[in-house]
Structure 1
Amino acid sequence: MLLSLLTVSLAAGSALAASTDDWRRRSIYQLVTDRFATSNDSSPTCDTDDRVYCGGTWQGIVNKLDYIQGMGFDAIWISPIVANVEGSTGDGESYHGYWTADQNSLNSHFGTADDLVALSSALHARGMYLMVDVVVNHMGGTSVPPDYSTLAPFNSESKFHPFCWITDYSNQTNVEHCWLGDNSVPLVDVNTEDDSVVDFFNSWIAGIVSNYSVDGIRIDTVKHVRQDFWSGFAEASAVYTVGEIFDGDVNYVSPYTKVLGGVLDYPTWYQLTSAFESTSGSLSNLVSTVQQAQSSYANGEFTAGSFLENQDNPRFQSITTDQGLVKNAMSWPFIQDGIPILYYGQEQGYTGGGDPANREALWLSGYVTQEKPLLQLVTSLNAARKAAIAANSNYLSTALTFPSVEGSTLAVLKYPMLALLTNGGSSSTPSWSVSGTGYDANEALIDVLTCTTYTADGSGGVSITGSAGEPVIILPTIAFNQTYCQSLSGSS
């Protein structure tokens, strides 16, 4: 029997300090609950083309927290938790969690209320945060018109916007009032102008955070709801909120940063993907977009979520498998101003294209950690970011700069970290010469990805020649724990 999210009262471990500022030092591992791990560690067949539940659960996540934490992540983002449309539709099953049927009940495919509490408690016992995905904009139907009586708690047509498909993304009213989805699964657009609907959602999100000790909220389809709805919703949650505004225009995304704790940084994502998907990508376009966002977002990019992959976009290795390009692109979220987010399976080299191919079962990888270059890359990047935060008390409020942008090479400075990137590809031998680093004359430096040591010149400048088109991430040797390098050589 499903339990009401608003009435359940369970002894979950209390949420950790989870303000927007507290989230800034975290790095997030995003996973699709149904595809990450099963409760009994089994490995059932999971064909993404089938678009069906494959068996992942909240208990399965608990079982694999060592795997996540071992890469250096201290927060996870899980799929929406509420009950969804049941059974097969013309678009498959709702294993992903975005076709809500009952806002007040949990998705029993993922487990029970006790299981969700256990996940929250297990995370908090490790000092990790829990982020839950939520959908406010719409609910899931199975026909046009939908059977409103099957939806809860909004079971009458008056609680939804009148039916119309979104046809004009340049018309914000059309974007906010018309419907996403298709004839098989229309996404029934909730009337968020209705005061009773607003009151429900504000109470609902407060209840989820309280009942399950949630530390942060990721919000789906934010641009499809009026902007002034979100400030009250965010305040009611009392935790960090990060919204999905699926758009590449900084000027369009920026206003949402004034009503939420942060946004997923789609404008930068578009340019990041373009810059590193081939050796002809534009690094200067990436630079200009980042600089525009730094000056336009309410908190700069400090509270934005930075990512390369997610459940809505093709995996980067479906675009290119050149490992030089892949490693440079993967490094970006960890060396920029905001909060890094890694989509599960990226560390295992998954190559799925667009939805549903990008929602593979991770158990098919065997959760292997040895001889996995991308997993080691992510582990090193997390270690480097933590070391930089520890070495500079102002690191999280220090805006990155670009001391060098030359052809296929880019230098990103966020003292004490200097990231040297290239889109020359794996057959290239990149070189960088960077001045104004802030390093002392002749200071000892280290590339945290390879543990190669360097020495700054008499002015603190850095001149480095790389190999195989791979990134170089520099820190002062004094700031980086050498036992990490010893463990790295011991595990290879």
Structure 2
Amino acid sequence: MLLRSSLLAAGLYAAAPALAASADDWRSRAIYQLITDRFAMSNDSNTPCDTTERRYCGGSWQGVINHLDYIQSMGFDAVWISPVSANIEGNTTAGEAFHGYWYQDITALNTHFGSPDDLKQLSQALHKRGMYLMLDVVVNHMAAPKMPPEFNFQDFFHPFTDESYFHQPPCFANDSTTDPNVLEQCWLGDPNLPLPDLNTESQTVVDLLQKSIHDIVQTYQVDGLRVDTVKHIRKDFWPGWASAAGVFTMGEVIANDTSFAAPYTEVLDAILDYPSYFPMVSAFSSPQGQFGPFISQITASQKAYKNGLFLAGSFFENHDQPRFQSYTKDVALVRNGMTFPFIHDGIPICYYGQEQGYQGGSDPFNREALWLSAYQQEKPLVGHFKTLNAARKAAIKSSNGQFLHTPMKFYAIEQNSFAVSKPPMLALLTNIGSETSKSIVWNVPQAGFQPNEELINIFTCGQVMADGQGGVNVRSEYGMPQMLMPISAVQGSNLCPADPKRRVANMAGNREKMLSGAVLFGSVLFFFFRFWQF
């Protein structure tokens, strides 16, 4: 009865004028994720920001507006911002709520980031550029400074004004919990900073949550939602809530098990592809990484998720996980791993600072201030993202959109390399790294190109000829990834332009890294022969 009445209520909200793009419209998008407090300040000052203090550093929605050129120039056409609702104030045992996930009032905005007009202006600025706005939202819980009875529920939260709106303590859950009763009924956090769990079995709570999300989407013309801690609420809650929102929904389900995550794709449009993320990071972080488990996980998700991996969020870094360069600084490993989300079936996501080579480990070190980078456009990974986004757009255009509906397939799987095909793209990836004399050869007879078709490696602009059956045989260069596309597919794009000056600029970042690898290898050989005693 609860689910039925919830869906009926959501139907009333869904009847409101739609301002947002459909789930299908999101297929072609590439998302840039940012933490508002750490992306840009309104006045562009270079204020220090010590991540270890876990305090507000001054980023704002106006700051984001000021740097939309930076985001769009890399090819991203959607921006995911951290939660916007009012959070608990003051310092806690885990610092201040600069990240936005500790709600106190879901009917008001977090004034640290700006005014309602500022958020509306951000939405409008994105839409004028043809870009989408994705809000991060918390539905499962609020945040309290202490445990009851030291903490009094009365009128502290809004609109949940007393303890009857919450599941009652004392049990706690965490990301490793699998028991549904514990996951859905217990609190997150800990006794020092508890996150009171909303009683989503209560129709009153359901109605308030649905009205809140409907209002915020309509007021700020939101195009999509990233939904926090989805697995901590019963599954049959989500369809009614999503219907009330009326926009694309991508849920966070932290799990390394496809069978656990898959049911949530039945109740929301998509989920973040966490089951693939964990083995992906392990596979690319060193030459000892294993591609077999990673590829098996991908193919399992393609079969298990409601829409396959289409619409799933594919990411290599985010605010909850250590940055990849905290595991390895090897430029070839970094570039190989960064490339995969752009040939993934889903929606590629870049976490702010990834493009600047940030190296922070676990929270709070992975939540650095981006203004300290000066938003440098010349950084090699900025160029890498530009190339990846341009290639994906060219693949979509040249295939008349079929790229977005064609599942990726894996070929030539070896200990340290594999190929992944998603026509008209063929990615050749490896984890041998740049600091090795080892060479990789990708022999892909099933590459799917036309016989004797002229191809181009979008990273170096080097040309390759497919064989008489449309296959390829390609050798690695310093462990770098390769992405082959028909020359006909990139014509008219910014990839490998015919103008020699533009081509040199396009290749500069990759050539720089390849040369640095060569210099390093040469130096090793020099010292070996100079000092080794025969």
| TM-score for both structures, normalised by structure 1 | 0.95
Partner of 1:313: 321
Which one of 486, 495, 513 corresponds to residue 484 of structure 1?
A: 495
Deviation at 1:66, TM superposition (A): 0.4
Using a 3 Å threshold, how does the CA distance of structure 1 residues 159 and 488 change in structure 2: closer, same or farther?
farther
Equivalent pair of 2:391/2:495 in contact (CA under 8 Å): no
More displaced stretch, 183-192 vs 299-308: 183-192
Distance between the aligned counterparts of 1:270 and 1:199, measured in 2? 36
Instruction: Tell me whether 1:235 sits opposite 2:238 in the alignment.
Output: no
Distance between the aligned counterparts of 1:57 and 1:488, measured in 2? 37
Instruction: Tell me whether 1:355 sits opposite 2:366 in the alignment.
Output: no
- Partner letter of residue 192 of structure 1? T
CA RMSD of aligned residues (A): 1.3
Gaps of 5+ in 2: 1-16, 509-534
- Matched residue of 1:98: which SS? coil
Deviation at 1:485, TM superposition (A): 2.2
| TM-score for both structures, normalised by structure 2 | 0.88
Instruction: Tell me whether 1:346 sits opposite 2:354 in the alignment.
Output: yes
Partner of 1:147: 152
CA offsets 1:45-75 (integer angstroms, 9 cap, x no match): 1000000000000000000000000000000
- Partner letter of residue 473 of structure 2? S
Equivalent pair of 2:33/2:80 in contact (CA under 8 Å): yes
Distance between the aligned counterparts of 1:184 and 1:475, measured in 2? 54
Deviation at 1:246, TM superposition (A): 0.5
Partner of 1:336: 344
Q: How does 1:30-41 map to 2 (within 5 A)?
A: 30-41=33-44
Equivalent pair of 1:413/1:437 in contact (CA under 8 Å): yes
Distance between the aligned counterparts of 1:270 and 1:316, measured in 2? 11
Deviation at 1:237, TM superposition (A): 1.1
- Matched residue of 1:375: which SS? helix
Q: How does 1:243-282 map to 2 (within 5 A)?
A: 243-282=251-290
Partner of 2:138: 135
Distance between the aligned counterparts of 2:448 and 2:199, measured in 1? 53
Which one of 361, 371, 381 corresponds to residue 374 of structure 1?
A: 381
- Matched residue of 2:196: which SS? strand
Rg comparison, structure with higher value: 2
Equivalent pair of 2:18/2:246 in contact (CA under 8 Å): no
Using a 3 Å threshold, how does the CA distance of structure 1 residues 95 and 483 change in structure 2: closer, same or farther?
closer
Distance between the aligned counterparts of 2:56 and 2:432, measured in 1? 41
Distance between the aligned counterparts of 1:166 and 1:395, measured in 2? 40
Distance between the aligned counterparts of 1:170 and 1:334, measured in 2? 31
Instruction: Tell me whether 1:222 sits opposite 2:230 in the alignment.
Output: yes
Deviation at 1:147, TM superposition (A): 2.6
Gaps of 5+ in 1: 1-13
- Partner letter of residue 159 of structure 2? P
Equivalent pair of 2:213/2:245 in contact (CA under 8 Å): yes
Distance between the aligned counterparts of 1:296 and 1:452, measured in 2? 38
Deviation at 1:170, TM superposition (A): 2.9
Distance between the aligned counterparts of 2:380 and 2:462, measured in 1? 17
Equivalent pair of 2:31/2:348 in contact (CA under 8 Å): yes
Instruction: Tell me whether 1:204 sits opposite 2:203 in the alignment.
Output: no
Instruction: Tell me whether 1:454 sits opposite 2:464 in the alignment.
Output: yes
Distance between the aligned counterparts of 1:147 and 1:320, measured in 2? 47
Deviation at 1:16, TM superposition (A): 6.1
- Matched residue of 1:138: which SS? coil
Distance between the aligned counterparts of 2:478 and 2:354, measured in 1? 20
Partner of 2:93: 90
Instruction: Tell me whether 1:159 sits opposite 2:165 in the alignment.
Output: yes
Equivalent pair of 1:15/1:214 in contact (CA under 8 Å): no
Equivalent pair of 2:159/2:208 in contact (CA under 8 Å): no
Equivalent pair of 1:411/1:418 in contact (CA under 8 Å): yes
Distance between the aligned counterparts of 2:488 and 2:284, measured in 1? 32
Which one of 414, 433, 437 corresponds to residue 443 of structure 2?
A: 433
Deviation at 1:488, TM superposition (A): 4.8
Q: How does 1:406-417 map to 2 (within 5 A)?
A: 406-417=414-425
Deviation at 1:272, TM superposition (A): 0.5
CA offsets 1:114-154 (integer angstroms, 9 cap, x no match): 00000000000000000000001010100011331311110
Count, aligned residues? 478
Q: Which stretches of structure 1, 4 residues or more, deviate above 6 A after TM superposition?
A: none
Using a 3 Å threshold, how does the CA distance of structure 1 residues 488 and 263 change in structure 2: closer, same or farther?
farther
Using a 3 Å threshold, how does the CA distance of structure 1 residues 272 and 93 change in structure 2: closer, same or farther?
same
- Matched residue of 2:300: which SS? helix
Deviation at 1:17, TM superposition (A): 5.0
Query: Percent identical across equivalent pairs?
Result: 53
Partner of 1:183: 191
CA offsets 1:377-397 (integer angstroms, 9 cap, x no match): 111111111111111131111
- Matched residue of 1:30: which SS? strand
Distance between the aligned counterparts of 2:181 and 2:94, measured in 1? 27
- Partner letter of residue 121 of structure 2? A
